[in-house]
Amino acid sequence: MTGEPRRYRLGIVLGLLVLMHFSIRPWLGNPRWAPDFMMLALMTFAIRARPGHAAVGGFVVGIIGDALAEGAFGAGALAHTVVGYLQAWGKDVFFPDNYLVNAGFFFAGVWIRDLLVLLASGRVGAEALLLHLATWSLLLALTTTLAGLVLMALFRDWLRIGPN
C-alpha cells in the first residue's frame, strides 16, 4: 500500500510507541534499563524518512526528553538530532527491512544517543562515563532492541519500507 494509508499506519504505530513510553514504561522497572519507546519511535520514523526530516524529529524528541528530565538542557536534543540523522542516512547504506539490520540500528542508536548525552552534559568523569556506557547503556540498548524487534514482528506489514 502506498501513499496516505501507509503514512497513517506509521503514524498509528508511532503514536502507540509514544503512549507506551508514558503509560507502560514506568511500570517496567528502572528507567535506566526499561525500553525507551520514544527512542524506538524516533528510530522507526528516521529509517523511513529523509535525513533532514529525521533530524527534526530527533530534535523534537530530544527537547521533549530534556524538558522532562533533570540535567543539561539541550544535550538530549543534540544527541537525538544526530541519531535521527544518522539513522535516516544509514537506510541508504543498508537494507532496512531486515531484522538483523533493524536490531543493529536500534542497539547502536540507543548506545550512541547515551554517549552523546553524557559527553554533551559534561557532568560525568571519564571513569563514570565508561562505567555507564558499559552497563546501563548496554542494558537499555538491549531492552530497546528487543522491544523494537517485537514491534517489527507485530507490525511487519505496516512498517514495510519497500513496495508491497
Q: What is the pLDDT of residues 38-91, one digit of tens each?
A: 999 999 999 888 999 999 999 999 998 888 777 778 899 999 999 999 999 887
Query: What 3-state class would DSSP assign to 144?
Result: helix
Angstrom distance (rounded) from CA 157 to CA 11: 14
Question: Is 164 domain-assigned?
Answer: no
| Non-local CB neighbours of 57 within 8 Å, separated by 6+ positions | 42, 45, 46, 49, 84
pLDDT, tens only, 80-137? 999 999 999 887 677 667 888 889 999 999 999 999 998 988 877 888 888 889 999 9
Predicted confidence at residue 164, as pLDDT, reads 45
Question: Is 160 domain-assigned?
Answer: no
Question: Is 133 domain-assigned?
Answer: yes
Question: Is 36 domain-assigned?
Answer: yes
pTM summary value: 0.85
Question: How many distinct structural domains can be found in the chain?
Answer: 1
CATH (domain of 142): 1.10.1760
Question: Is 57 domain-assigned?
Answer: yes
Structural domain including 143 reads 4-154
Question: Is 92 domain-assigned?
Answer: yes
Angstrom distance (rounded) from CA 66 to CA 76: 6
Sign of CA dihedral 75, 77, 83, 86: negative
Question: Is 159 domain-assigned?
Answer: no
